[in-house]
Chains A and B, each alone.
Chain A
Amino acid sequence: DVKVTQSSRYLVKRTGEKVFLECVQDMDHENMFWYRQDPGLGLRLIYFSYDVKMKEKGDIPEGYSVSREKKERFSLILESASTNQTSMYLCASSSPKKTSETQYFGPGTRLLVL
């Protein structure tokens, strides 16, 4: 089975702090994604990556950056956390070898910025 793990289930940070959210997948997937989930808004794509050292902006990249130094790891960085970044963050991975391939999700990180 595909496994996607996220470094923390819950995080509490203060405004202005630099925050790192880590995601690791064990299925050699080329594609990795970061979403944020907010009530009534569903999932919104922040950034995604199709390959190592490659990244592309999603729908809401402002205030975030990412890093993909290794194929299995995709990090989301909040350079200076703000209260409006309090949310649930979900990482996902997939393989482009089949265009129908589904995305596999991690358990999520619930971030609270005070």
Chain B
Amino acid sequence: AQSVTQLDSQVPVFEEAPVELRCNYSSSVSVYLFWYVQYPNQGLQLLLKYLSGSTLVKGINGFEAEFNKSQTSFHLRKPSVHISDTAEYFCAVRKTSYDKVIFGPGTSLSVIP
């Protein structure tokens, strides 16, 4: 069975500092990987996704993530965060042949001015 682990439930970071949100997954087959963001009182929206090809994926709002197959990780990074990045971030995985998505428990990013 697939599972997704987000190692940090809360990450406080100062404005303009870099941030990395960690995600590890377990799966015996190839998967698609996603990062979603949820701003306060809103639904989830897609930040970026890895389907195939280059292991470095760039998304919206300056975020990027790197797929590491040997470590089964898909960590999210941003070199300089803004106050507006304060949100909940969810890592998700889906088998390539099946549409059910498994979400991680989420990481709450708080950007401190």
Question: Which residues of A does B touch, CB under 8 Å?
Answer: 4, 9, 31, 35, 40-45, 48, 50, 58, 90, 92, 94, 96, 99-100, 102-103, 105-108
Q: How far is the CA of A35 from the CA of B9 in the complex (A)?
A: 20
A45 engages B46 (CB within 8 Å): no
Q: How large is the interface on B (under 10, 10 to 19, 20 to 34, 35 or more residues)?
A: 20 to 34
Instruction: Return the contact of A42 from the options B34, B49, B90 (Cβ within 8 A).
Output: B90
CA distance in complex: A69, B75 (Å): 40
Interchain CB contact under 8 A, A106 and B99: no
Neighbouring A residues of B103 by C-beta, 8 Å = 35, 42-44
Please encode chain B, from 39 to 80, with 1 for each CB lying within 8 Å of some chain A CB and 0 for all others: 001111110010100000000000000000000000000000
- The answer to whether A96 and B99 touch (CB under 8 A), given A40-B9, A41-B105, is yes
Measured CB to CB, the nearest residue on chain A to B52 is A100
| Nearest Cβ on chain B to A86's Cβ, whole angstroms | 17
Contacting residues, chain A, for B104 (C-beta < 8 A): 42
Q: Please indicate the chain A residues that have their CB under 8 angstroms from the CB of B99 in the complex.
A: 31, 50, 94, 96, 99
Q: Determine the chain B residues whose CB is within 8 A of the CB of A102 once the complex forms.
A: 34, 46, 49
Q: Taking A90-B43, A105-B45 as given, write out 13 further A-B residue pairs in contact, using a Cβ cutoff of 8 Å, ordered by the A residue number.
A: A35-B103, A41-B105, A43-B44, A43-B103, A44-B103, A45-B101, A90-B44, A99-B97, A100-B49, A105-B36, A105-B43, A108-B42, A108-B43
Which residues from A are CB-within-8-Å of B46?
102
